[in-house]
Structure 1
Amino acid sequence: MSRYKFILFGAVALAASGATFAFSQQAAAPAMPAAGPSAFEQFVAIVKAAKPGAELQAAVSAINEMAENGDPAAMMMMADLHRDGKLVEKNVQTAVVLYEQAIEADRPDAATRLGNLYRQGAAVGLDPGKALGYYEQAIAAGDAGGKAGLAGLYAAGLSVKRDIPKAIALYEESLAAGQLWAATMLGDLYHQGEALGLDPTKAAGYYQQALAGGDIGAKAGMAALYANGSGVERDIPKAVALYEESLAAGQVWVATKLGDLYRQGESLGLDASKARGYYEQGVAAGDAGAMIGLAGVYRDGKLVERDVQKAVALYEQALRGGRLDAAARLGDLYRQGESLGLDPSRAIGYYEQAAAAGDAGAKAGLAGLYATGATVERDIPKAVALYEESLAAGTIWSAAKLGDLHRQGAGLGLDPSKAVGYYEQGMAAGDAGAMMGLAGLYRDGKLVERDVQKAVALYEDALQAGRLDAATRLGDLYRQGKTLGLDPARALGYYEQGVATGDAAAKAGLAGLYAAGLSVERDIPKAVKLYEESLEGGYIWAASKLGDLYRQGEALGLDPSKAIDYYEQGVAAGDVGAKAGLAALYANGIGVGQDIPKAVALYQEVLADGNSWAASSLAALYLKGEEAGLDVNKALDYYEQGAAAGDAGAMAGLAALYRDGKLVAKDAHKSAELYAGALQAGRMDAAARLGDLHRQGKTLGLDPAKAVDFYREGVAAGDAGAMMGLANLYREGKLVQRDVAKAADLYQQAYLAGRETALANAVGVLLSGTKAQQVQAHALIARGQAENAPNIASALANAMFNGTGIARNPAGAIDILKTASAKGDAQAASTLIQLYVQGRGDDVRRDIRLAKATLASVASLIPQEEREGEELLIEASTASSVEDYRAVAQKAESLQPAARATLVSRLAGANGNAYVYVLQDGLKGAGFYDGRLNGVLTSQTIRAFNRFCDQRDRAEPCRTGPLSWPARNVFVEFMRETGS
């Protein structure tokens, strides 16, 4: 009975060498003299044909018998058959025994075959460390194939330290000895180019040399050059043709390469639907690479319906077929856990299996587990070590991962300055992920000086290198427009480019444009639809964006009660932004019952997770104090905590406290310092706040000339508040020469930047200008009416009352105000009430009854605070005693600073004595007046007011007396600035 049990299989194609692709060329046996060579060759021919039947069975039996009788060529053939499991049962151990016997029978090439087998290590149940010894044994016996095998070890760094020059030298020696397939191996190395410190343009020469020698493996290598445009001009049709020729010549693994090309579809001018067929052809031939390709198709759900279980089965099959990198792919899938219906705890086993076999990708995957603490205890040093090993083994994208870790710095016990080096290392090797990481550093100005243009260039490079999500990052940058010195109109194109590739984040970016009406017409339904699609595509942050939209409710035509579901969906997926959004719902009682303790708890969770910006939200809640059942003093603690962590929002909040003297002693210089820090940290609206502070000049001990520069800085960054501040300076001629045109232009810029009331401001300043400017004002009124801009009705009514740029028509003005008020225009209603309260000569009779009736008719349409202000104005208009004036002043104190200033600005026209009482009270609080509070404009009051104006460098407008419009504006401006 035969010593070597074998089982015949069905018609399976068999190469005489029987080697796998990786060693197909060096495995080819030279013609060897043996007993009965003609008979052996006949048997080999029958085996090669692999035609099922008795003749095939007899041929295998005959070769097996010859091997048993000591024929070395037959031993080699049977070893190959058992090694590959073709026509006989696969048995690696039997193959090893036969190869060992062939070595003893003076077949040195058998040592090379053993090196090839042992090199596969755990995949075939062997020790990869023994491969080196067999290759050296073959070389010592003069087998050139041993040199090629040893070269392969040095090229890959398997069992030896990676040494590319040594690998090249060994391949060159093999080539010189007539092993032409070594030229293909050299082509493969040079193809990798700079990653190995080699000249990629030399690859084509080696492949062509191998092709001239008849090596079919070189066709696939040459095809790869044409596919990638590496060292030759890119030519996809030529690449496909060469791969097809290689496949027809029996290189079954090339079906995978064709599948990979066709899978890219239209981007290469190919039919993506053909990819599956090529992969299946490769799978049918037992090619593990095709199994991996087809698994990827089922994993991604592109070209076929997504089927994770089928993908897992194919990866498992590829793993059994020796593709150890399939274990890493399985680790990647299982790592995603429940989202794919898999057990995440199994990921580590697959990663360790592949890592033990030296798979660099698996080491990187394992590093990812330790970096995040997913299913294992978090271990940053271990993660770094594994990424370093992976990088040393040639997994260049591990450099980006190391950059990402080091970028987090002290939080992970790492040196953040090393991040730049890792990113640059990856970028030099052409890794798009490293380009993305380095772009992020330049974008944010972290670890390097901020350089938006450099960030843009790097994102563009990453996009060209295949990182399609870079289009979304570019969209995000361009969306910020003038703030970064970029054209915001280009954001749309980048987002659409990302959307076309199926990037869910790009859909969210595009949704953001439609939600805000940036570069496109505002379209809330479209924004909602895109966010929904983005969420379905796995972009979990879209849930919080949807929550933010629905939270605005009726203002956007949405149901605010739906916000909570979206936020909870985001929270469940781990999005801290959604948790903050949910906190805001509970804080304000939107769609849910107000629950301040719950809001506080949620914000504290967000803060505890390292999100310092949540400190600002907590501070804002605590500022409500007793109204919210909270200790107002804690607001200061939270602002200080956030500011210490570098949060711009907290700096701005703390600056406001020092500006207003709330919870802390008033300190304009400290306020300015904090606003400057917030501005430096990217809070562009802080420029306007700095402008507002410096505008007060000597009053606060600041340089008023700097106000203009701060406003201009904010304007350059696209901040609407800064546009308004600078426009006000040009309108008033304060710190700059009065310029109606510049003021109007800035107001219009502010309108386009989202300050809806600014269009009416532009109208107002133009109406005060030349006749030509008044014509412009009426053109803006028409535009405002078409766009439903607020306050336009009041601006038009004012022009009609005065006959400015239009025929005087007081009755028409009243009608316009009444119509606008009925539609819920709060400003129109306020203007109408003001007219009835103070009267306007023969145009409008003073009529408190009509004022009250007007307020009653619009009360449900205007905000509560505005309604309270109107009620107080009507009450003040009838005040006639010191007690009445005092009551008005006390009630005014309960209003927010801005609302209080607005009331006071209107009070002089409604009741001069009540206004004077408030003026006296304000001057006394500021240290300028020490007389009685009686509402009488005494000389003492006038002198105090003049001293007040002198200190504010506003003596000129105050010369016309405390009750004049210019003088009133100085006092009201003071109230707005100080919150007094």
Structure 2
Amino acid sequence: MSSAAKIAFVTVLCLFVGPEWSIAQETTPQTRGEIPAVTSFDALLQSATQDLEASAADSGAMANMALARVAFSSTDPAIQVTGIPLAEKAAELGAVEANLLLGDIYRRGGYGAAPDLVRAKAYLEAAFKDGSLQAAVALGTLYFDSDFTPEGRKRGLELLTAAANEGSVEAANALANVYLQGKGVPIDTSKALHYFGVGLVSNSNNSIVALGDVLRGGAANLQPNPQVAMEFFERASKQGDLGAGRRIADMHLRGEAVTQSVPQAIAMLTDLAQKGDANSYIALGDIFTRGEFVATDGARAIEYFKSAQALGNTTGMIRLAELYINGLPGTPVDIGQAMDLYASAAELGNTSAKRALGRAFLTGQFGTTDPRRAIALLEDAARLGDGQAAKDLAVLYATNDPFPANYDEVKTYLDLALAVGNTGAALEVASAIATGPLARTHREDARLLLNGAMDGGVPGAAATLARLQLDGAFPAEGVGGVISMLNNAAKSGDNDSARFLIGLYRDGYGLLLPPDPAAANDFLNSVAASIGPEATTVERIHLEALKNEDVDTLASVSEQISTLSKASAIQVLDILRRKNARAYVYVLQQGLSSRGQYSGPLSGTLDATTIRAFNAVCSALNAERACAPGPLTRGALLTLGNYVLQPAT
């Protein structure tokens, strides 16, 4: 039975239960003797639909709402859009559910309506006034994500607190995240745990998993505790939470709280996948694509991504497209197939595919540029609630490319991005305004936007503002004022600002600030607990790259890289490639030596023996083209780095 049929069937049952449930009774009361005989399902469905349409025409709130849901349940966009006026009519007639539904639609976009902050707030406010706790949660979150003023933050906090005090677990979880991340309030891990505890007492899987995530990774003034995190995930998993099951598998994959066992992790994910969890198929495909824990295997990755696709998960199609763009050993690049997959996913409504195609047609990634088609795809994705596509459009309108800069359009698309929770869009858009053709007329708007984002706890806002001040885009109280601002942001838990300040001390900033590695090291020590062990190691290696190139230093750098995730290790190799080529070569020599593919000394010297070993690996991986420009180029880095950092077979 289709969703529409189910809705209509349930509605018609309500019609015939008794007078108190009859929608049609508002205008045409029936006596029990007039109830028609039920001859078939189709006949009953037809009768229900006719009764609803008649009642809707007579201004019945319930009937309009029911018909709106029938329209929204359709897979035909032309039918979906007819639900908006029906829901709006129901809202006019006082249906709280209609206000809540329309608020969510205008908040995120969909059913033919683009995100609209003003309408979203109006409908959610109406639902909240009628007592909807769901509206309070949605509205409070919307204020935090889109209104960086003190009044907006205050209103968001009031709404979420009021709903939490009324017993809303969803509101309590939202408040917990506000205090955990410092979104417009000081970071307070104790308060975050208190509010997550509301859901814990209520046995909410969302709260249990969220607490597990906090315990697994740690938080401000709270050290990681993977053992206890595992208990939380196991509890939620036993209660049917698939995400918790995937987290348990990932901990086995990485050896957190348990002895590392890649086979067991794969077996766990396979079991979840075979039970119908498409995201587990995605996770399996990622394991064999990225090569962090097993050797890359394009054939197996393709099989898993196709299995996810078969379950209706369009992310599987996106992953396949990405695989064909980047290629893997044994799986050559196939741009045509990648484009077909993106196009198919886009037709099915996947906004990530629309955005990827739009970006590709802007940049010529697939061999041709088509700005008009690119913009149409990005606009379509933005209307469907894709915050990244909305951000892209705002930046394009701020930079005068490929069309004239237009601040009104910038503001429109920035509001769309913020409405769906993409708070980071404020940073990119403000930078584009401050450094582009709109700077002359709207520089102050950009500065206020960044200040609001910084006060609202948006990660990286202080670092973005600092960079623009140092470059002269905004006035600042000298280098000392910039450093003071970054220090304050770092102390409040903004790790992006902390790392930016480490880099500022380490590298200096032109003529404004000379490098001071000792200050960088001291500041790193002071924020190490906050930014976490992985980021701390990356920064320590970065500092090592400024030192001399003796063998002990090279060995120390190589040892530290071995403790990092593959993604971080590649990032560090890229730094070394540019700042300490000898350390970069040393790490590759050591990795190839452990695989029996390099027999020379571990010296970091790019001699003939080393070059021959590098070329042999590039040839074996069918990556001669990527490596051809030279061993110190990014193509060689990605080929050789990915090879030496994946598990030996």
Q: What does residue 927 of structure 1 align with?
A: 625
The secondary structure found in structure 2 opposite 1:877 is coil
Shift of 1:647: 1.8
Distance 1:926 1:859, change over 3 A: farther
Q: What does residue 434 of structure 2 align with?
A: 767
Say whether the 8 Å CA contact 1:445–1:451 is kept in structure 2: yes
Distance 1:776 1:450, change over 3 A: same
Q: TM-score, normalised by structure 1?
A: 0.43
Question: Is 2:38 the partner of 1:394?
Answer: yes
Per-residue Cα deviation, 1:86-119 (whole angstroms, up to 9, x for no partner)? xxxxxxxxxxxxxxxxxxxxxxxxxxxxxxxxxx
In 2, Cα distance between the equivalents of 1:719 and 1:883? 49
| Aligned match for 1:531, one of 163, 169, 175 | 169
In 2, Cα distance between the equivalents of 1:230 and 1:900? 71
Say whether the 8 Å CA contact 1:655–1:671 is kept in structure 2: yes
Shift of 1:641: 1.1
Distance 1:229 1:792, change over 3 A: closer
The secondary structure found in structure 2 opposite 1:874 is helix
Q: What does residue 369 of structure 2 align with?
A: 703
Q: Which amino acid in structure 2 is aligned with residue 228 of structure 1?
A: Q
Q: What does residue range 434-583 of structure 1 map to in structure 2 within 5 Å?
A: 442-446=71-75, 448-456=76-84, 477-481=105-109, 484-485=112-113, 487=116, 511=137, 514=140, 521=156, 529-531=167-169, 543-547=204-208, 549-553=210-214, 572=239, 578-583=240-245
Q: What does residue 846 of structure 1 align with?
A: 515
Q: Which amino acid in structure 2 is aligned with residue 582 of structure 1?
A: A
Shift of 1:455: 3.0
Q: Percent identity?
A: 22
Say whether the 8 Å CA contact 1:475–1:492 is kept in structure 2: yes
Distance 1:836 1:459, change over 3 A: closer
Q: What does residue range 28-177 of structure 1 map to in structure 2 within 5 Å?
A: none
Does 637-646 or 557-566 show the bigger shift?
557-566
In 1, Cα distance between the equivalents of 2:285 and 2:451? 43
The secondary structure found in structure 2 opposite 1:682 is coil
Q: Which amino acid in structure 1 is aligned with residue 429 of structure 2?
A: A
In 1, Cα distance between the equivalents of 2:393 and 2:400? 10
Question: Is 2:382 the partner of 1:715?
Answer: yes
Distance 1:492 1:689, change over 3 A: same
Distance 1:394 1:545, change over 3 A: farther
Say whether the 8 Å CA contact 1:626–1:632 is kept in structure 2: no
Distance 1:791 1:609, change over 3 A: closer
Q: Number of residue pairs matched? A: 529
Per-residue Cα deviation, 1:830-851 (whole angstroms, up to 9, x for no partner)? 3223233333355322222222
Distance 1:745 1:450, change over 3 A: closer
Q: What does residue 781 of structure 1 align with?
A: 450
Q: Which amino acid in structure 2 is aligned with residue 393 of structure 1?
A: A
Shift of 1:656: 2.5
Question: Is 2:246 the partner of 1:584?
Answer: yes
Does 486-495 or 828-837 show the bigger shift?
486-495
Distance 1:588 1:224, change over 3 A: closer
Distance 1:680 1:571, change over 3 A: farther
Per-residue Cα deviation, 1:244-303 (whole angstroms, up to 9, x for no partner)? xxxxxxxxxxxxx9xxxxxxxxxxxxxxxxxxxxxxxxxxxxxxx9xxxxxxxxxxxxxx
Question: Is 2:53 the partner of 1:426?
Answer: no
Does 594-603 or 523-532 show the bigger shift?
594-603
In 1, Cα distance between the equivalents of 2:453 and 2:310? 44
In 2, Cα distance between the equivalents of 1:882 and 1:707? 51
| Aligned match for 1:679, one of 327, 346, 349 | 346
Per-residue Cα deviation, 1:752-781 (whole angstroms, up to 9, x for no partner)? 543333333233333324444333333223
Q: Which amino acid in structure 1 is aligned with residue 515 of structure 2?
A: R
Q: What does residue 638 of structure 1 align with?
A: 304
Q: Which amino acid in structure 2 is aligned with residue 521 of structure 1?
A: G
Q: What does residue 806 of structure 1 align with?
A: 475
Distance 1:689 1:225, change over 3 A: closer
Distance 1:686 1:581, change over 3 A: same
Shift of 1:485: 0.8
Shift of 1:640: 0.3
Shift of 1:427: 0.8
In 1, Cα distance between the equivalents of 2:449 and 2:74? 41
Question: Which structure would you say has the larger RCO, counting Cα contacts within 8 Å and 6 or more residues apart?
Answer: 2
In 1, Cα distance between the equivalents of 2:107 and 2:286? 28
In 1, Cα distance between the equivalents of 2:483 and 2:455? 20
| Aligned match for 2:423, one of 731, 747, 756 | 756
Say whether the 8 Å CA contact 1:639–1:651 is kept in structure 2: yes
Per-residue Cα deviation, 1:37-59 (whole angstroms, up to 9, x for no partner)? xxxxxxxxxxxxxxxxxxxxxxx
Per-residue Cα deviation, 1:798-832 (whole angstroms, up to 9, x for no partner)? 34434433156122223333333344432323322
Say whether the 8 Å CA contact 2:327–2:333 is kept in structure 1: yes
Q: What does residue range 303-382 of structure 1 map to in structure 2 within 5 Å?
A: none
Q: What does residue 661 of structure 1 align with?
A: 327
Q: What does residue 858 of structure 1 align with?
A: 527
Distance 1:741 1:896, change over 3 A: farther
Query: RMSD of the TM alignment (CA)?
Result: 6.0
Q: Which amino acid in structure 1 is aligned with residue 248 of structure 2?
A: Y
Shift of 1:496: 8.2
In 2, Cα distance between the equivalents of 1:512 and 1:825? 25
Shift of 1:444: 4.6
In 2, Cα distance between the equivalents of 1:824 and 1:563? 26
Say whether the 8 Å CA contact 1:756–1:789 is kept in structure 2: yes
Distance 1:513 1:886, change over 3 A: farther
Shift of 1:439: 5.1
Q: TM-score, normalised by structure 2?
A: 0.61
Distance 1:806 1:627, change over 3 A: same
Q: What does residue 869 of structure 1 align with?
A: 538
Question: Is 2:322 the partner of 1:647?
Answer: no
Say whether the 8 Å CA contact 2:308–2:316 is kept in structure 1: yes
| Aligned match for 1:830, one of 462, 481, 499 | 499
Question: Is 2:64 the partner of 1:228?
Answer: no
Q: Which amino acid in structure 1 is aligned with residue 50 of structure 2?
A: A
Shift of 1:531: 3.4
In 1, Cα distance between the equivalents of 2:47 and 2:169? 36
Q: What does residue 185 of structure 1 align with?
A: none
Say whether the 8 Å CA contact 1:546–1:566 is kept in structure 2: no
In 1, Cα distance between the equivalents of 2:572 and 2:296? 29
In 2, Cα distance between the equivalents of 1:819 and 1:534? 28
The secondary structure found in structure 2 opposite 1:788 is coil
Q: Which amino acid in structure 2 is aligned with residue 673 of structure 1?
A: D
Structure 1 gaps, min length 5: 1-191, 197-220, 235-256, 258-288, 290-390, 400-420, 536-540, 573-577, 936-944, 949-970, 976-980
In 2, Cα distance between the equivalents of 1:864 and 1:482? 41
Shift of 1:511: 4.2
Q: What does residue range 187-226 of structure 1 map to in structure 2 within 5 Å?
A: none
Q: What does residue 181 of structure 2 align with?
A: none
Shift of 1:586: 1.6
Task: State which structure, 1 or 2, has the greater radius of gyration over its C-alpha atoms.
Answer: 1
